[in-house]
């Protein structure tokens, strides 16, 4: 692949809970931003290849208000360097393979120093990474919209227990994480890793507008229906104001902090999804049969391809009740590095048991075969995120308890388990 400038964006599905969703008892969390990414030139080409307490902080400032996009071929012009080649946002929005390449490039650019790694042990089954430096779930918003609107579930449904495992046993050293987040790091620039702030929503409203535009083109709403589409657009656009606030200013360099970061991200996306469900359903209910057919057709072809090539079957592997061999519990490493006493072994056993229970929780909410409408797919996203939240919360609680039993040296040794692991 030749080098070219690329500005990559993701749409965040994060808004405050609507009044219709306030009764949802599985959320006790304030609104948070989700995630958007922007990658400048040359970066893509380097590789081919629910716990009830959540620690929350809002950072950053809201993005500038933008009008909805009205073209399928929208250049990612925001923050673009002079002379850089432009990327077709419309194509990126429906090209998960491009997003996976960018995520791979970003995840491996600073991993294990200057080593030119082509794969990391925490990669997803279809490529891409759930952890890119200190950020959990790059392209979270794009993954959700890609599945809900276009039926492309590969990105969204790849998330599961392996990401929790990488939260427990982080792949990056503290120095590597600091380099990712440093505003003016020579090493980061040398490795062509964009500033972390560029991952956090510079043109999110343009992407939200693109998604609305795709729906508008498909259904060609009447005047009466347009009000419902506008309400859905307003709900989507309001998300953009808190996207940049989701970007951490401090690295999560310990297992408890990483799991808290995961809780924050999942809570944000889930709240956004819940707030979008009523306006999307209201819009869908107003459509006539032909309009529904045209809207569903945006995803039907993608669904047929996924069924034919086994993508849906492959996504079911994420729901298996047994994790991959590479992600088996590192009992020997923990014993060798920590030399736990009896009390610590008991706390460690509870953590291991919670980890196994997390796998089981996630095994009950897999990609459905019968989600044939955007509303059905958004509901499936809701259920999966709810399961992820419960699984992460369970592990986070027991991780906090185990971590509290360790002395400083043991805590440092625990962090080496994942960061020193080879591909």
Q: What is the mean pLDDT of each run of 10 residues along the chain (423 residues)?
A: 37 35 38 32 35 34 32 32 40 74 85 76 88 88 85 90 96 89 75 66 66 92 95 82 67 95 88 90 98 93 64 60 77 96 98 95 91 95 96 98 98 95 79
pLDDT at site 25: 38
Residue 31 lies in a domain: yes
pTM beyond 0.95, yes or no: no
pLDDT at site 379: 97
Residue 90 lies in a domain: yes
Residue 4 lies in a domain: no
Distances (CA, A) of 358 to 28, 75, 161, 322, 352: 20, 41, 7, 11, 10
From the CB of residue 219, how many other CB atoms can be counted at a distance below 10 Å?
23
pLDDT at site 201: 55
Residue 281 lies in a domain: yes
What does the alpha-carbon distance between residue 146 and residue 11 come to, in Å, rounded to a whole number? 10
Residue 3 lies in a domain: no
**H or E element that contains 135:** strand 135-136
| Tally of residues, the chain | 423
pLDDT at site 79: 37
Residue 8 lies in a domain: no
Domain range for 68 is: 19-419
Look at the chain and report how many structural domains it folds into: 1
Residue 13 lies in a domain: no
Report yes or no: 399 and 153 within 8 Å, Cβ to Cβ.
no
Query: Given its phi and psi angles, is residue 133 left (phi above 0), alpha (psi -120 to 50 degrees) or beta?
Result: left
Provide the 3-class DSSP secondary structure of residue 8. coil
Angle at 123 between CA 370 and CA 182, to 5 degrees: 120
Residues 6+ apart with CB under 8 A from 308: none
Tokens 């304030």 identify what position?
30
Distances (CA, A) of 128 to 100, 102, 122, 199: 4, 8, 9, 15
């Amino acid at each position: 692949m030749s080098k070219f400038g690329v500005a990559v964006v993701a749409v965040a599905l994060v808004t405050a809970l609507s009044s219709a969703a306030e009764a949802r008892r599985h959320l006790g969390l304030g609104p948070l931003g989700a995630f958007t990414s922007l990658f400048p030139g040359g970066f893509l080409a380097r590789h081919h290849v629910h716990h009830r307490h959540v620690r929350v902080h809002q950072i950053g400032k809201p993005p500038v208000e933008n009008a909805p996009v009205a073209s399928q071929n929208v250049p990612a012009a925001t923050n673009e360097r002079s002379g850089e080649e432009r990327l077709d946002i419309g194509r990126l929005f429906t090209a998960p393979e491009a997003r996976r390449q960018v995520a791979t490039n970003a995840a491996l650019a600073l991993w294990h120093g200057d080593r030119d790694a082509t794969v990391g042990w925490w990669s997803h089954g279809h490529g891409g990474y759930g952890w890119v430096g200190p950020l959990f779930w790059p392209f979270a918003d794009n993954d959700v919209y890609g599945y809900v609107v276009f039926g492309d579930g590969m990105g969204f449904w790849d998330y599961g227990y392996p990401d929790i495992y990488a939260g427990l046993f982080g792949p990056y050293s503290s120095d590597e994480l600091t380099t990712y987040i440093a505003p003016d790091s020579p090493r980061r620039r040398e490795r062509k890793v964009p500033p972390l702030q560029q991952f956090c929503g510079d043109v999110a409203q343009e992407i939200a507008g693109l998604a609305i535009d795709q729906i508008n083109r498909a259904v060609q709403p009447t005047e009466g229906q347009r009000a419902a589409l506008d309400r859905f657009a307003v709900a989507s656009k309001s998300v953009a104001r808190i996207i940049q606030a989701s970007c951490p200013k401090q690295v999560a360099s310990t297992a408890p902090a990483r799991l808290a970061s995961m809780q924050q991200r999942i809570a944000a996306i889930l709240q956004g999804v819940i707030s979008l469900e009523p306006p999307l359903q209201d819009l869908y209910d107003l459509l006539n049969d032909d309009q529904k057919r045209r809207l569903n057709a945006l995803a039907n072809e993608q669904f047929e391809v996924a069924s034919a090539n086994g993508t849906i079957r492959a996504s079911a592997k994420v729901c298996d009740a047994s994790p991959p061999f590479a992600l088996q519990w590192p009992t020997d490493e923990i014993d060798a590095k920590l030399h736990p006493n009896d009390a610590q072994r008991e706390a460690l056993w509870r953590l291991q048991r919670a980890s196994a229970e997390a796998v089981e929780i996630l095994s009950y909410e897999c990609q459905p075969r019968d989600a044939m409408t955007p509303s059905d797919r958004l509901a499936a996203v809701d259920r999966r995120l709810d399961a992820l939240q419960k699984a992460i919360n369970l592990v986070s609680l027991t991780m906090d308890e185990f971590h509290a039993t360790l002395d400083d040296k043991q805590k440092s040794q625990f962090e080496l388990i994942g960061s020193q692991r080879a591909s």
